């Protein structure tokens, strides 16, 4: 496929057209509400207002040139720069707006900070020793985790943010054994992390920790928590062929089920039911909490779970179909 799903929520879906680098925002009825090109190399899209609008932010890897100001979509094709103070690095982590967002800033000395901008005006700044950190948001978009990725550090600092009372709040600051390879977070603020030499670590929002020894070459590429169950996925090359493995640990820590499918599949988790969807071009399989195949619908294109649990299908022609959560 030459079209890619950037993100999808209850109010819209953002699609990237690969050949043209054009971004399109599609409303829940499948109608285009905005379109435009990515402003420069390194740009990415953060959804706002349930993906009905978009923030266009940039992530320039070279430290010798500053980031441009973030922008947001306006009308059907317009873009507006944010009126915010400039710093060397300016990476919008989450919306929904100029007056309500999280931004990772970096300074020329390598230090960083997170701005928690609130519509109430009660803004907050968290100072960081470095701006070289990664962000991962939750399946439902209600939380996110900022963490120190890789490197030689034997400890990785992380911060968990949640939407509480209509604004972003920092709820946890912690340390995990490193080097950390991936870190994911649930809507409730529970963290799952994989680290070289340490396997899989889960830190619940109440501070409870669980650990599974996993060899480095078998570490998952993503790990999601739903309730007390952990779902993991890994794309790998086996005997010269792409394969995708999905497996789940139950609340006791035991392996509940696993699936290994030929090919490179896109895997998504329903934040509503905890079901797992595996999809590749023109194929889709949904697994329930117990690992049973509950749906194998015929599709044309690629299908994922949206932030509200809806079934969102991107067709080969770039159009989007959205069906309520099942």
Distance of CA 56 to the CA centre of its chain: 16
Query: Which of 44, 71, 96 is the endpoint of a domain?
Result: 96
Residues 214 and 317 in one domain: yes
The pLDDT assigned to 62 comes to: 56
DSSP state of 152: S
- The CA-based angle 234-275-133, given to 5 degrees, is 50
Q: How many residues are there in the chain? A: 326
Regions in the chain scoring below 70 on pLDDT: 1, 40-42, 59-63, 153, 238
Phi then psi for 217, rounded to 5 degrees? Answer: -75, 0
* Alpha-helical regions (H) of the chain: none
Residues 32 and 79 in one domain: yes
Residues 212 and 103 in one domain: yes
The pLDDT assigned to 110 comes to: 87
Q: CB–CB of 209/203 below 8 Å?
A: yes
Please name the residues in contact with 43: beta carbons below 8 A apart, sequence gap of 6 or more.
Answer: 56, 57, 58, 59
DSSP state of 273: T
The pLDDT assigned to 60 comes to: 61
Residues 267 and 301 in one domain: yes
Is 0.75 topped by the overall pTM? yes
Q: Reduced to 3 states, what is the DSSP secondary structure of residue 179?
A: coil
The pLDDT assigned to 202 comes to: 92
Closest CA to 302 of 16, 10, 52: 16
- Please write the tens of the pLDDT for every residue from 163-176: 999 999 999 999 99
- How many structural domains are present in the chain? 2
Q: CB–CB of 5/13 below 8 Å?
A: yes
First to last CA, the chain: 26
Residues 170 and 316 in one domain: yes
Residues 84 and 170 in one domain: no
Structural domain for 92, as ranges:
1-96
Alpha-carbon separation of residue 126 from 90, 109, 184 (angstroms): 14, 17, 20
Residues 298 and 174 in one domain: yes
- The CA-based angle 43-47-51, given to 5 degrees, is 135
Query: Which of 32, 61, 96 is the endpoint of a domain?
Result: 96
Phi then psi for 24, rounded to 5 degrees? Answer: -125, 135
Closest CA to 151 of 165, 134, 168: 134
Q: Which residues is 302 bridged to in the sheet? A: 314
Task: Quickly tell me which residue has 């949904």 as its tokens.
Answer: 286
Q: Which two tokens stand for residue 220?
A: 């998952």
Residues 76 and 156 in one domain: no
The pLDDT assigned to 145 comes to: 97
Residues 242 and 159 in one domain: yes
């Amino acid at each position: 496929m030459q079209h890619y799903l950037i993100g999808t929520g209850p109010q819209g879906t953002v699609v990237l057209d690969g050949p043209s680098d054009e971004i399109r925002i599609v409303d829940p009825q499948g109608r285009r509400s905005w379109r435009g090109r990515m402003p420069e190399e390194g740009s990415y899209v953060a959804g706002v207002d349930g993906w009905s609008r978009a923030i266009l932010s940039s992530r320039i890897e070279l430290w010798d040139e500053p980031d441009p100001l973030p922008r947001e979509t306006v009308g059907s094709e317009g873009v507006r720069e944010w009126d915010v103070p400039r710093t060397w690095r300016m990476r919008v982590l989450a919306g929904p707006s100029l007056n309500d967002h999280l931004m990772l800033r970096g300074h020329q000395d390598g230090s960083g900070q997170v701005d928690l901008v609130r519509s109430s005006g009660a803004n907050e700044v968290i100072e960081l020793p470095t701006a070289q950190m990664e962000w991962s948001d939750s399946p439902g978009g209600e939380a996110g985790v900022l963490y120190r990725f890789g490197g030689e550090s034997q400890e990785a600092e992380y911060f968990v943010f949640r939407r509480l009372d209509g604004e972003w709040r920092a709820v946890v600051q912690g340390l995990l054994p490193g080097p950390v390879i991936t870190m994911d977070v649930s809507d409730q603020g529970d963290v799952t992390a994989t680290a070289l030499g340490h396997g899989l670590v889960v830190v619940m929002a109440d501070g409870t920790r669980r650990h599974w020894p996993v060899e480095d070459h078998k570490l998952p590429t993503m790990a999601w928590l739903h309730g007390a169950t952990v779902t993991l996925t890994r794309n790998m090359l086996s005997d010269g062929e792409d394969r995708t493995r999905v497996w789940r640990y139950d609340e006791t820590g035991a392996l509940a089920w696993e699936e290994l499918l030929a090919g490179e599949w896109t895997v998504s988790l329903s934040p509503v039911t905890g079901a797992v969807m595996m999809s590749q071009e023109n194929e889709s399989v949904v697994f329930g909490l117990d690992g049973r195949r509950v749906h194998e619908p015929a599709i044309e294109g690629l299908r994922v779970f949206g932030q509200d649990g809806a079934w969102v299908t991107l067709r080969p022609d770039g159009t989007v179909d959205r069906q309520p959560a099942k």
